[in-house]
């Protein structure tokens, strides 16, 4: 299996995640200048680890010309397969929307320029959806950039928007898909065209059932796989094969996980 989104450098021993529960590859998300450096270093060290580089919407305080120059340089690294995670986050009270949008649009422009997908983070307070609607507004101005809607919330309008946006929009399902009250995520996971689905952990966050409440690990992506396969009443190995093919396609990986030229 391929874990399409994890924060491998947050783990005490990143190497221990390699190969667990049949894991064949991991994409380590570098969502700040320091974490981007960490992600690239891990991708250089291990052949089954790939990196993204970018600036998380809650870390826009680190945005600067110097940070952008460094991230732009890292974006061209041969082990970097995507940008981000970027996007909009209205969960916290000190949200700085203008700064988030500026960083988001800059990363969309960089993704277009280097020909790599952008991983998108979208988070709202319970019962609100301003970040989701803001993401749709921004992406409407960048219709040709491949994106991954990471840790997809199941938001019905964002689901429709992403499907209408075209085949270069993918939806990442994380461990919270397995939570019993995640009804909108369940509905999306049940009906989404399989060629648009990715599986991820967001490790060490959002551990799936039966590991909920513990630190998440990349290998636990298998629990999310098995849950969605049961939802869709299909064999888990078929879903694994299809979602891994999607991961290879969006991130430009070869059949055995190697980066395609």
Query: How do residues 60-109 score in pLDDT, each as one tens digit?
Result: 999 999 999 999 999 999 999 999 999 999 998 877 999 999 999 999 99
Q: What does residue 89 show for φ and ψ, rounded to 5 degrees?
A: -135, 110
Residue range 227-247: average pLDDT?
98
Question: What torsion do the CA atoms of 149, 154, 158, 161 make, to the nearest 10 degrees?
Answer: 90
- For the entire predicted model, the pTM comes to 0.96
pLDDT at 215 over 50: yes
Return the beta strands (E) in 124-261 as ranges: 147-149, 169-173, 197-199
Q: What is the CA radius of gyration of the chain?
A: 17
**Contact criterion met (CB below 8 Å) for 209 and 179:** yes
Tokens at 94, concatenated: 């000190």
What tokens were used for 55?
């600036």
User: If you average pLDDT over every residue of the chain, what do you get?
Assistant: 96
pLDDT of 259 reads 56
pLDDT digits (tens, 9 = 90+) for 14-48: 999 999 999 999 999 999 999 999 999 999 999 99
The per-residue DSSP string of 67-89 comes to HHHHHHHHHTSTTEEEEEEEEEE
Distance CA 235, CA 229 (A): 6
* Cα–Cα dist 45/203, whole Å: 19
């Amino acid at each position: 299996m391929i874990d399409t989104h994890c924060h491998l450098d947050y783990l005490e021993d990143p190497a221990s995640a390699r190969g667990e529960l049949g894991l064949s590859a991991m994409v380590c998300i570098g969502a700040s200048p320091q974490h981007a450096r960490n992600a690239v270093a891990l991708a250089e060290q291990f052949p089954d680890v790939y990196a993204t580089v970018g600036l998380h919407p809650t870390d826009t305080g680190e945005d600067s010309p110097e940070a952008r120059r460094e991230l732009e340089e890292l974006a061209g690294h041969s082990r970097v397969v995507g940008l981000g995670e970027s996007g909009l986050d209205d969960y916290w009270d000190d949200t700085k929307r203008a700064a988030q949008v500026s960083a988001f649009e800059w990363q969309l422009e960089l993704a277009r320029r280097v020909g790599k997908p952008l991983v998108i983070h979208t988070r709202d307070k319970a019962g609100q959806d301003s970040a989701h609607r803001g993401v749709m507004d921004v992406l409407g101005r960048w219709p040709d950039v491949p994106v991954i809607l990471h840790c997809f919330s199941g938001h019905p309008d964002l689901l429709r928007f992403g499907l209408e946006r075209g085949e270069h929009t993918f939806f990442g399902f994380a461990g919270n898909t397995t939570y019993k009250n995640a009804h909108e995520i369940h509905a999306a996971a049940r009906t989404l065209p399989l060629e648009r689905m990715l599986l991820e952990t967001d490790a060490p966050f959002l551990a799936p059932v039966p590991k909920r409440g513990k630190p998440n690990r990349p290998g636990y992506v298998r629990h999310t796989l098995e849950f969605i396969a049961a939802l869709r009443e299909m064999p888990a190995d078929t879903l694994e094969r299809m979602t891994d093919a999607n991961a290879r396609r969006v991130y430009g990986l070869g059949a055995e996980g190697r980066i395609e030229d």
